A and B are shown apart, each in its own frame.
Chain A
Amino acid sequence: MGVIVSTRRIVKAGFVNFWRNAVVSLSAIFVMTVALFVVGATILMSVFLQSTLNSIRDKVDINIYFTSDAVEPDILVMKREIEALPEVKEVEYISRDQAIEAFKLRHANDTLMTQALEELPDNPLGAVLNIKAKDPSQYEAIATYIQNERDKMAGSGTQAIYSVNYAKNKIIIDRLTAITNGVEKVSIAILFLLIAIAIVITFNTIRLAIYISREEIAIMRLVGANNSFVRGPFVVEGMIYGMLSAIIATGLFYPVTLWLKASTKDFYGGVDLFYYYLTNLNEIFFILLLVGIALGAVSSWLAVRRYLKV
């Protein structure tokens, strides 16, 4: 028999069976929707968590405060040296003028402070180098480097660096590093666990649906249908379950993330879940569709197999 003809017959039979076994189909879709929703929610949460962790990490930095008489060329030389370190992601130079502007802006409503500044003959603030590492665990190394530089300068009599805020931040940085690493590990473990549970539940549901059809399978074999012709429609049915469940599960995330919008907006990072859902709708749907179809097809394939043995 031609492959095209038999495929067309199998696909058609799959749709007809899906429609005629409406009750079984509905319950399979219900279970699969829940499973896919769990998969989607886990992925969504872990991506969201990831972006939150990243923005927290981004907030960690080292500031070098220079004395007000440190000269700009020297500072820029140091900036370039630090930038050359492999651990460093970026170094931002905040000149004395920029520092005072930012300070004024912060205290714009504080008339007393503004007046006091006006009366000063000179800008009292020093320049700042703001250093970000590629990874929070690398601040230690950067701080050590800076400390060595500072010691060298002290040895040669000049003291351009007024202070380095690493020591103050050290405890926070260390703790944050530990927490973010831990959270990542735990969330990956949970992701895998939940996905495994979703697969097992879906497989069992489909197995039950096919168990109901075991007599039919025996009859099909008796009238001389070969294995792929018996199995095909079930696999198609499983794929239909997966497709519809993916559509429903993706749709379900709309009200759920909308509902969570308010409570996730205030998280560090500022990206709320609803926004994330809307901007990544295509990817989310595509992933769930792929997972759903694969899960439905493989489950059906395996479940029919035991009734095809002689």
Chain B
Amino acid sequence: MIYFDGVSKIYEGHAALDEVTLHIEPGEFVSIVGHSGAGKTTLLRLLLVEDRPTQGSVFFEKVNVHKIRSKHIPEYRRRIGTVFQDFRLLPNKTAYENIAFAMEASGKSDEEIRSDVPQVLELVDLGDKLWHFPHELSGGEKQRVAIARAIISQPDVIIADEPTGNLDPVNTYDVIQILKKINDMGTTIILTTHNKGIIDSLKKRVITMADGKVIRDDRHGKYVL
């Protein structure tokens, strides 16, 4: 479903990614590990077309994503849910409105929004915090809103870039459980993390990166650096 074909990304003479080639199949739960600066975020940014590769191509279901016309990029991005370490919620919108915004942007009807948003917030156990603004939520709660927003449009893939980086162990566990549940329902998950405990307990595919290169790719990997 996702295919990186010899992708390099050079920032001012420094290679953040160096000829990366990898496949991700539908329904996989892939973890990417590697030291800070290894190129994990860069890889995900290229998939989201937030940046262009210096060399090579990125395919999403046979489509070279960097050849998508900018007019159609919003449509493409709606097929990918994103969760980040810094939550990236709209600060002036409540939990409900943050999720409603994503649905409005994709042209969902008011009825769908009214019925789906409370449901998805219930799913991440925030049924009682619909009208809280991000600054009125804890880190774990914010991340659950972000996850709810990522899954609301039923994307094919969820990209989670260090989603637990700012969370305590209990919230970390919750977030990973939610991601697993989503994966069980058939959504592909790409997770980056520095948390050894998570990786070892997941027992899923692990891609290890160093200096912009993929150095290991294990079906049932462990956290080894």
Contact = CB atoms under 8 A, between A and B. Distances in A.
Q: What is the interface residue range for chain A against chain B? A: 20 to 34
B105 A222 contact: no
A222 B88 contact: yes
Contacts, number: 56
A216 B91 contact: yes
Given A310-B49, A310-B73, A224 B102 contact: yes
A6 B90 CA distance: 19
Of A216, A220, A222, A229, the most chain B CB neighbours within 10 A belong to: A222
Contact of B107 (A1, A16, A218): A1
Nearest to B66: A310
A281 to B, nearest CB: 37
B149 interface: yes
B35 interface: no
Contacts of B110: 5
Contacts of B82: 222-223
Q: What is the interface residue range for chain B against chain A? A: 20 to 34
Interface string A227-252: 10100000000000000000000000
B92 A17 contact: yes
Interface string B62-93: 00000000110111011000100000111110
Contacts of B184: none
A224 B77 contact: yes
A197 to B, nearest CB: 31
Of A216, A218, A224, the most chain B CB neighbours within 10 A belong to: A224
A193 interface: no
Contacts of B77: 221-224
Contact of B105 (A20, A21, A225): A225
Interface of B: 48-50, 70-71, 73-75, 77-78, 82, 88-92, 101-102, 104-107, 109-110, 149, 153
A9 B49 CA distance: 27
A17 B70 CA distance: 27
Nearest to B155: A224
A220 B90 contact: yes
A6 B109 CA distance: 10
A220 B92 contact: no
Contacts of B74: 221, 224-227
Contact of A223 (B50, B71, B92, B101): B101
A219 interface: yes
